[in-house]
Structure 1
Amino acid sequence: MQKSIRNLVLAALFLALGLILPFFTGQIPQIGSMLLPMHIPVLICGLICGWQYGAIVGFILPLLRYVLFGMPPIYPTGIAMSFELATYGLVVGALYAHSRWKCIFALYRSLLVAMVVGRIVWGVAEIILLGLGGQTFTWELFLSGALLTAVPGIILQLVLIPALMVALDRTGLVSFSKKTAVDAA
């Protein structure tokens, strides 16, 4: 019971962070789309609270942000982002929870797989949503949106999230096993 209350409170915190972080980059939309500020709290939520909370926070975040602040545009961006972020939270949380050891190697593996699967889900959602509107979603649009413009955000996530998890390990909020990456492989 106490753990579920803790996870619920932390999930609410990550949802609030996801609502607030885009304000720091939102003045220049190109920077916001490059740094992916809503992705970070969802990934951390999935890692700390579990896949269920990560998926729910990820799905709700873009929709709630649209209702409260009018951004991101709901169609197709906000809806596609809801599926993408839900996938991030679900995949990173499930993979990390089922890792044999909670180490940096498992953390990076979980993050990388979640990023790839989430971007694929985003692409599929864009294809479906734009197809319903009679528009097309090309391979070039996918590469641009999923990879090329997102490189700074991907690098930020791969640096910031493990550093934050190590810091949280020192506080006792999360724990890494004593196994090394070589032992985990």
Structure 2
Amino acid sequence: MQNTATTRTHALPSVKFQSAAAVLAVIAAVALPQVFHLAGAALGLGTALGQTLLPMHLPVLLVGLLAGPYAGVATGALAPIVSFALTGMPMAPMVPFMVIGLASYGLFAGLLRGVCLPAAIRSPFDWLAKLLAAQVAGRVIDAVAIAVAVTLLGNATMTVASVWTAVGTGLPGLILQWLAIPAIMFAVDRHHE
């Protein structure tokens, strides 16, 4: 028989919780890049700080792990659209790719949330493994979307190589995610035990 913490981790939260989490995550995914861009401007870095620290990815991955795949997909799909509508960022040609990439991150993070080790051996590394898998899966989907756009649609603004360039540029943001998200999720686990 499973203990309460393991059961709670496998079961999706209520629709009300998922909806509230998605709304809050979209707000965070729109606001955090603005904070990072303002900080970058103040430091003379322009938008480089946002591109380096990937602030929009953090709430999407976190909500997927906390609230499940529906909230993750909704947040990932809506955040770039809402951000573009309110702030003009990301740039219009990037919006469809960000929708696909972020929705993929949210989906895979949400699907992996239910893959759970027994409570006795659970650690932050369990969440790190889930996070890494979601990030890799999201990047693969992003690369496929870009390949389709380049090959079938003749989109010259993006290349598949840009996925790898983005990984290199965003490495500090990935490291931030690898540190913060497993720590947050482990703390949530401990709180529910």
Partner letter of residue 107 of structure 2? Answer: L
Distance 1:139 1:72 in 2: 19
Q: Establish whether residue 117 from structure 1 lines up as the match of residue 137 from structure 2.
A: yes
Alignment partner of 1:106 out of 120, 126, 131: 126
Give me the CA root mean square deviation. 2.0
- The residue type equivalent to 1:64 in the other structure is V
Q: Paired residues, what number?
A: 170
Deviations 1:36-58 (A, max 9, x none): 00100001110111011101110
Which of 13, 16, 34 is residue 5 of structure 1 equivalent to?
A: 16
The answer to whether residue 103 in structure 2 is matched with residue 86 in structure 1 is: yes
Point out the more displaced range, 24-33 or 97-106: 97-106
Partners of 2:55 and 2:89 in 1: how far apart?
13
Query: Gaps spanning 5+ residues in structure 2: where?
Result: 1-12, 39-45
Q: Please give the per-residue CA displacement for 1:9-56, whole angstroms capped at 9, x wherever unaligned.
A: 121111111110001211321111110001000011101110111011
| Equivalent residue in structure 1 for 2:188, among 168, 172, 175 | 168
- 2:68 and 2:177 map into 1 onto residues whose CA distance is 18
* 3-state SS of paired residue (1:154): helix
Which residues of structure 1 form unaligned runs of 5+?
A: 176-185
With the length of structure 1 as denominator, give the TM-score of the two structures: 0.82
Question: Structure 2 counterpart of 1:108, which letter?
Answer: L
AA at the equivalent of 1:166: F
Match of 1:155 among 172, 175, 178: 175
- d(CA) in 1 for partners of 2:82, 2:116: 32
1:142 & 1:49 partners in 2: Cα distance?
27
**What CA distance in whole angstroms lies between the structure 2 residues aligned with 1:19 and 1:51?**
20
Which residue of structure 2 aligns with residue 181 of structure 1? Answer: none
Distance 2:66 2:155 in 1: 40
SS of residue in 2 equivalent to 1:9: helix
Cα distance in 2 for residues equivalent to 1:128 and 1:70: 25
Amino acid at match of 1:113: A
CA contact (8 A) 1:63 1:74 kept: no
CA distance in structure 2 between the partners assigned to 1:154 and 1:90 by the alignment: 18
Instruction: Indicate which of 136, 159, 163 corresponds to 1:142.
Output: 163
Deviation at 1:106, TM superposition (A): 2.7
